Amino acid sequence: MRMMYTDGIPFHDPSQESGRAGQHQESHRRGTVLSVSYQTVRELRWPDGVVCPSCESKEVMKRGFDDTQPARQRYECHNCDKRFDDLTDTIFAGHHQPLKVWVLCLYFMGLNVSNEQIAHELSINESDAYQMTTALRGGIIKKSQP
C-alpha cells in the first residue's frame, strides 16, 4: 500500500480503492483537515471567544463563510461595524498561499527541513518558502506598533 500525504495527514492512495468510496474518503479527509486548521486558529487566537481585532469588543456576530475557503468564518463587530475573518491581522492574511500550506510549512520547520526542501514538498517557489518561514519565525499574530 502506497502512503501519500495531503494536508499533512498520511493516508493510503485512494486510487487503489474502487469507485466512489475512495473519492469520497479523500474529499472528506481534505475538508476535515482544513476545517480543523481554521478551528485551531480560532481556538489559539481567541481562547475566551471571538474578539474584534479593531476595537477588542466581544459583541461579534458571525457573517457566513468565505467564498473561496469555506471553513474560514467571517464576522462583523456590533461595536465598530468592522468586518473581519479568522485570519484578519495574522501573518496568514493577505497571502496567496492557503492556510493548509502555512500549516504544513510550520510542520516541516518543526522537523528542521530546509527552505529548499519545504518549497519542493509544498510545490511552491523557494522565495515563497523563505518568506513564509521568516514570517512564521517572527510570530503568528502581528504586533501593533506603539
Tens-place pLDDT, residues 29-41: 445 555 568 888 8
Domain ranges of the chain: 1-45, 46-89, 91-146
Rounded Cα distance between 78 and 10, Å, is: 42
pLDDT in tens, 54-76: 999 999 999 999 888 888 999 99
| pTM listed for this prediction | 0.63
| Residue-level pLDDT at 23 | 45
DSSP 91: T
More confident residue, 68 or 6: 68
| Residue-level pLDDT at 35 | 57
Distances (CA, A) of 92 to 14, 23, 50, 69: 30, 29, 17, 13
Rounded Cα distance between 103 and 77, Å, is: 28
